[in-house]
Homo-oligomer: A and B are copies of this chain.
Amino acid sequence: MSSNNNPASWQLNCPVSIPANAEYVTLAHGEGGRLSRKLIQEHILASLNNEYLIALNDAAQLPKIEGPLALTTDSFVVSPLFFPGGDIGSLAIFGTVNDLAVSGAKPLWLTLSLILEEGFPLAILDRILESIARAARETCIKIVAGDTKVVPRGVADGLFINTAGVGELITPIPPGPATLQVDDELIISGPIGRHGIAVLATREELGLEPLPLSDCGSLLQSVELLRSGIGNQVRCLRDATRGGVAAVLHEWAEASELTLSIEERNVPVSPEVRGVCELLGLDPLHMANEGTMVIAVKPGAGTAAVEILKSIPETATAQQIGIVKSRGIVPVTIRRTLDSEQPLDDPLGSPLPRIC
């Protein structure tokens, strides 16, 4: 097989054109000496500077937090690095901010750790750092500590990013899926499957046009509105990332030992996602989201929750999709064409396009 012999050969799908004599990342950039400091100063700090990060200490020194803490981490390995609607940088920020937000915390600080493949163009790195900076500004979060490693060519796929986030838990903290009760109502904040389809269609070069847009974005405002509006009514929230909505419902069913039951006709799916899913034999409920969440509220609170969500553009198409029932034979059911409730499958592995 032929391998990538030039720095522009990653599956970048990046709008930046890379000049032939572009500067790129070398192993020396990761070795802790002069070049490492240059990379940090001229690229990372240039985009992300703030009063904590500038100290470049072994650990950031941060002020005291009043409430209890929330702590989360995620690594981002998306391929391609740029996809319609986002890139690995914005994803790395929104992903961690969203995890804090749905946990009931006010996101405060992030760490940012880059694993770069030797030969990665610095122009692309700068572009991703700008995207990180933009997402951090949008969500009012500060990147206070970081790390950069460079691995030899062929040992990583261009760039992996890890973010870890610290937030302050704000009362009332959603008590979590173990507290779900019969008749609780299930809500989805927007059309599903957009991120998974956008990335799949871009990566596998399926020749689809226009490429569907990822929903990659912040859930901060919608969570805050929900909490300030009906905070005491919220049981749990979850951004429906890998495994999609189906995986969230299965996890919640497992945690609560109840059955979660949804109506297919109420689940919002955008026409493009619908079209691609039919064409490739995929179920939108299994496809990843990166700015769309599932919410469970107490009985009767669903309408209020949907109202609140519909008040901002990001979640204007929020819908109640189902309710919690006493435990049946299967953990998650879906009503499709006919009246009978069918089991909704828990996704197994990455959804593969199929012709059968």
A residues near B (Cβ < 8 Å) are: 26-28, 30-37, 55, 57-77, 79, 98-100, 102-105, 109, 111-115, 144-147, 149, 151, 154-157, 160, 162, 164-167, 169, 173, 176, 238-239, 241-244, 247, 250-251, 288, 346-350
CA distance A153 to B8 in the complex (A): 21
CA distance A36 to B241 in the complex (A): 13
CA distance A30 to B61 in the complex (A): 34
The 6 closest A-B pairs by CB, nearest first: A32-B242, A28-B349, A32-B243, A164-B164, A73-B111, A59-B72
Say whether chain A's binding surface is mostly helix, strand, loop, or mixed: mixed
CB–CB B71/A31 < 8 A? no
Beyond A58-B102, A68-B64, whether A27 also contacts B75 by CB under 8 A is no
CB–CB B34/A346 < 8 A? yes
Contact partner of A103 (CB less than 8 A), chosen from B59, B71, B79, B350, is B59
B-chain residues with CB within 8 Å of residue A115 when the two chains form the complex: 75, 77, 115, 160
Q: Most chain-B Cβ atoms within 10 A of its Cβ — which of A30, A75, A176? A: A75
Contact partner of A242 (CB less than 8 A), chosen from B31, B160, B347, is B31
CB–CB A62/B70 < 8 A? yes
Contact partner of A65 (CB less than 8 A), chosen from B59, B64, B169, B250, is B64
